[in-house]
Amino acid sequence: MCAVSFKPRLLRETAEIALTEIKRFLEPRLAEEFSLRRVSAPLFLPVDSQLLDPRHPGVRIHLPAMSVEMEIVSSLDVWLRSQLSRYDIASGFGVFTIMNAIRPELPVNSTSSPHIAAWAWQQAVEPHEADCTALVDRAKRLYAVIVETEKMILEKFPHLTSTLHKTLDVVDEAVLAGRMPRYSEEKRIYEHLHPGRCEQPEHRHGAALLVTRGSGDKKLTGDLWVWNCAVNRPLRIVDFAVWDADAISGTSIGGNIYRDYLALQLLHQDRLLV
């Protein structure tokens, strides 16, 4: 069970050092696990660019030197998919980058910020592989990398304790809705992951991948949630999507590993390191 009161176990300066260790450990393993090459990401794109993500409208700025309106990126999913085509990436290989994005609609508090920092990635797949099985496979492999990252942190900072369950609990969103039809999606996730309320003890302090059917340019989506004792609520640390082939690129699977939420979880902090 989570403690009633919480005190961060790392000083702010030490937590920043630990975050650097997370970056150094996770990035090469992410690249190796999914056969990814690193690419440099843009901070902004022209407002009429097809590579902007329409799901997340960004902040517009005017660049007098170029006499053009630009938009600070809010997501790099679409842009990264274009890089798969640009580099003629074969199926089973992909690209990743370090994303610094702005989502102005997000509130500013201890667990939320308009600044989004993430490892964003996309992997090319064959059309027949673009299904729920492929999504879950990559979610489990990525979660294993995250668990290994926590093990590394515990070795370097032994006074910390493990926060992650060792296996991933895969639950369809429709199944949760059937179990708790009167609750909102956020409340269902809370009830499923709460260490004192979840039905299966082995899933306490665990994670759930919620697979949902999308529409339009995505066939399936998934979110990886973990329970955080510091803030006494679930945290979404990863999102996934299966993308159909379109004018931007072929079929792909990818998403975002949210750096600041991952740090909040693994480093026992009670507020984001931003």
Q: Which pLDDT belongs to residue 206?
A: 54
pLDDT for 153: 97
Q: What is the average pLDDT value for the chain, to the nearest integer?
A: 90
Q: Identify whether the C-beta of residue 71 lies closer than 8 Å to the C-beta of residue 60.
A: yes
**Burial classification of residue 273, based on how many CB atoms lie within 10 Å of its CB (0-12 exposed, 13-18 middle, 19 or more buried):** middle
As a whole-number percent, the residues of the chain with pLDDT over 70 amount to: 91
Q: Which tokens hold the place of 156?
A: 């370097």
pLDDT of residue 66: 85
Confidence grade of residue 2 (pLDDT, cut at 50, 70, 90): low
Predicted TM-score (pTM) of the model is 0.92
Mean pLDDT over 215-225 rounds to: 76
- The terminus-to-terminus CA distance of the chain in angstroms comes to 28
Helix axes 132-156, 259-266, angle to 10 degrees: 50
Torsion sign across C-alpha atoms 106, 78, 98, 220 = positive
| 112-131: average pLDDT | 95
Residue 7 predicted with pLDDT over 70: no
pLDDT (tens digit, 9 = 90+) per residue, 174-209? 899 999 999 999 999 999 998 775 444 444 445 788
- Cα(98)–Cα(124) distance, rounded to whole angstroms? 19
Q: Note the pLDDT of residue 184.
A: 95
Residue 134 has pLDDT above 60, yes or no: yes
Amino acid at 173: E
Does 229 or 3 have the greater pLDDT score? 229
Average pLDDT over residues 79-88: 97
How large is the average pLDDT for residues 153-179? Answer: 91
**What is the number of alpha carbons within 13 Å of residue 43 lying toward its C-beta?**
2
For the ranges 107-111, 230-234, 256-260, 270-274, the lowest mean pLDDT is seen at 270-274
Higher pLDDT: 118 or 220? It is 118
When mean pLDDT is compared across 49-63, 117-131, 146-160, 198-212, the lowest value belongs to 198-212
Res. 254: pLDDT tops 70? yes
- List, in order of start, the domains of the chain with CATH numbers: 12-266 (3.30.930.10)
